[in-house]
Amino acid sequence: MNKVLWTTVFAVLLGASCNRQNSANSDGQYLADGRESVAAGGSVHEGGQWHFDFTTVRAYRLNWRNEDAWEPIISGGELNATRMPTEGILLARSQVERLEAAVTGTHPDRGAGLCLYPHHAFLFFDGEGKVVGSIDVCFLCQSYRSQPAGYARNWDLLSIGELILDLGLPLRNPEWK
């Protein structure tokens, strides 16, 4: 196939994998839809444990002005300049435990998009303030990426969304339609 045809096929698949057109308009509706889906499918979770050492975890929103931004929280050793708040929100121990339960262990396969436009992230720091791990999350596409390798195959994005809201960060920019 020629390059134009492959590009077209990729764009169609990418658009079909991202559920932005079918997604809820509000943070509350997103969580309500997620709870309804879990209730219908019967969620089973077995907790896991972190696979690396860290001292603190901070949460961020990022790429807020650009709905289709690909930039992760950290790239080439540099932190994403669009992150807010700049210093992040420090997670309490109980919040770190909630995050751990959502990204480790066993979770039902809920599917994920082929795209990833991260608008939320978590950074893990050692005792000297060096970044030792990261998580990027896209609630538009139900996708995520992380480092170092070793997290669960499937994540509990509903629990991560609830955690983000509890931290005072919105899930979606209301300007995105």
Look at residue 15 in the predicted model and tell me its pLDDT. 43
Look at residue 28 in the predicted model and tell me its pLDDT. 61
Residue 130 near residue 177 (C-beta atoms within 8 A): no
Contact partners, residue 121, CB within 8 Å, separation at least 6: 59, 60, 61, 62, 72, 73, 80, 83, 134, 135, 136, 137
Residue 166 near residue 153 (C-beta atoms within 8 A): no
**What are the structure tokens assigned to 78, written together?**
């540099």
Single out the residue of 37, 22, 17 nearest to residue 157, CA to CA: 37
Is the omega angle on the peptide bond into residue 148 within 30 degrees of 0, that is, cis?
yes
Look at residue 6 in the predicted model and tell me its pLDDT. 34
**What are the structure tokens assigned to 37, written together?**
């889906």
Look at residue 25 in the predicted model and tell me its pLDDT. 57
Q: What does the domain layout of the chain look like in residue ranges?
A: 3-166
pLDDT less than 70: residues of the chain: 1-48, 111-113, 177
DSSP state of 139: T
Look at residue 166 in the predicted model and tell me its pLDDT. 97
Q: Is 60 helix (H, G, I), strand (E, B) or coil?
A: strand
